[in-house]
């Protein structure tokens, strides 16, 4: 049983990484798709109860944002892993400018998330933390972070 929590600003490559690497094995919970925390919580509780491998694909920029999932998952016997999507602001803004429609996030929103971003740490309760970086289109580097 495994819960993976993504952390990173909008347009950091989180959803693309999920589709390329985890869609075949993990259920994806994404607030953009579910629209409300109530719906998200219902799906999350169902994943815990059914022992389903799950990815939380939201920005989760702060420790408090991540804490809403960590202890509940650990109490249910899950291994909790962090995937931290490291990116610089300019690259993120450039990727976002290529998005169309609702996928394009207002720059002010990306900057606000970037300012409050807290890098995940083991003290939060993670079993493992990985730093993910986009190297090229569709390619990522994955680096395990030391405790």
* CATH number of the structural domain spanning residue 110: 3.40.50.300
Instruction: Give the pLDDT score at 74.
Output: 98
Tokens of 92: 């993120």
**Boundaries of domain holding 28:** 2-144
Length of the chain: 147
Q: Give how many domains the chain has, as a whole number.
A: 1
Instruction: Give the pLDDT score at 32.
Output: 85
Could you give the CA distance from residue 35 to residue 58 in angstroms, rounded to a whole number? 12
The per-residue pLDDT for range 55-66, each reduced to its tens digit, is 999 999 999 999
Instruction: Give the pLDDT score at 36.
Output: 95
pTM of the entire predicted model: 0.93
Identify the CA nearest to 49 among candidates 20, 28, 78, 29: 78
Whether the CB-CB separation of 88 and 63 falls below 8 Å is answered with no
Contacts of residue 59, Cβ cutoff 8 Å, sequence gap at least 6: 6, 7, 8, 9, 10, 14, 65, 113
Give the mean pLDDT per block of 10 residues along the chain (147 residues). 98 94 98 93 98 98 98 98 95 86 86 96 98 89 95
Instruction: Give the pLDDT score at 126.
Output: 99
Instruction: Give the pLDDT score at 98.
Output: 85
């Amino acid at each position: 049983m495994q819960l993976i929590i993504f952390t990173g600003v909008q347009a950091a490559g989180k959803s693309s990484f999920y589709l390329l690497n985890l869609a075949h094995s993990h259920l994806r919970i994404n607030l953009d798709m579910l629209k409300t925390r109530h719906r998200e919580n219902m799906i999350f509780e169902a994943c815990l109860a059914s022992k389903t491998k799950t990815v939380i694909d939201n920005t989760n920029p702060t420790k408090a944002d991540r804490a809403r999932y960590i202890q509940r998952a650990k109490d249910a016997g899950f291994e909790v892993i962090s995937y931290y999507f490291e990116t610089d602001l300019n690259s993120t803004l450039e990727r976002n400018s290529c998005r169309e429609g609702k996928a394009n996030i207002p720059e002010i929103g990306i900057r606000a998330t970037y300012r409050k971003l807290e890098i995940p740490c083991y003290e939060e309760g993670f079993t493992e933390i990985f730093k993910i970086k986009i190297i090229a289109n569709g390619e990522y580097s994955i680096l395990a972070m030391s405790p």
